[in-house]
């Protein structure tokens, strides 16, 4: 039985307002590791149950994007998919515009990628969230042998400048 879902409300916070926890979860469509998606599932469940966000935002692509939304729904966490309408990078409603929207909406971002991925769309999303909007970012890379690198939650560059030495 599915838990009762909280209603989804679109973020209306002003830039810099961190009163809501909106996590973007993006990443690879496929993995060289046969258990890559199972590893990703464990990471996403641990993240969403360890710190329950107000909203999960993702790009609607196969792989990590759809997995994140499915897990959020299983856990009763509201989710928002932002699929690209154009199948091009630079189209008005293409992948770049979608990724820019996701990086703007989130208050933190997590990327789970295959170490052999040939594209960098989800990397663009988290890089932009971190450098332009000063969001904390977690980067997880899953290798073909099932091992992973987890670069944890980073402190955004702007926040690092404010830390006392």
Tens-place pLDDT, residues 35-86: 999 999 999 999 999 999 999 999 999 999 999 999 999 999 999 999 999 9
Give ∠ CA 129-133-165 in degrees, rounded to 5.
105
Tens-place pLDDT, residues 108-138: 999 999 999 989 999 999 999 999 999 999 9
User: Cα-Cα-Cα-Cα dihedral of 66, 72, 76, 80, to 10°?
Assistant: -70
Q: Specify the residue for token string 């450098």.
A: 131
22-162 maps to which CATH number? 3.40.50.450
**Residue 125: exposed, middle, or buried by beta-carbon count in 10 A (0-12, 13-18, 19+)?**
buried
In angstroms, the CA 123 to CA 129 distance is: 10
Domain ranges of the chain: 22-162
CB-CB neighbours of 151 under 10 Å: 11
Could you tell me where the DSSP H helices lie in 4-134? 36-50, 64-74, 95-105, 121-131
In angstroms, the CA 73 to CA 145 distance is: 30
The model's pTM is 0.84
């Amino acid at each position: 039985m599915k838990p009762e879902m909280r209603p989804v409300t679109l973020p209306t916070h002003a830039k810099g307002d961190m009163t809501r926890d909106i996590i973007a979860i993006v990443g690879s469509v496929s993995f060289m590791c046969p258990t890559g998606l199972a590893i990703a599932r464990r990471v996403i469940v641990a993240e969403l149950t360890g710190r329950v966000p107000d909203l999960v935002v993702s790009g609607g692509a196969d792989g990590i994007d759809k997995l994140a939304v499915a897990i959020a729904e299983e856990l009763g966490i509201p989710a928002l998919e932002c699929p690209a309408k154009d199948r091009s990078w630079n189209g008005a409603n293409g992948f770049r515009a979608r990724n820019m929207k996701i990086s703007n909406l989130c208050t933190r971002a997590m990327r789970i990628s295959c170490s052999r991925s040939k594209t960098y769309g989800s990397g663009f999303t988290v890089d932009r969230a971190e450098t332009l909007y000063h969001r904390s970012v977690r980067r997880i890379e899953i290798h073909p042998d099932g091992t992973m690198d987890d670069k944890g939650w980073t402190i955004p560059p702007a926040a690092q400048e404010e830390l006392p030495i």
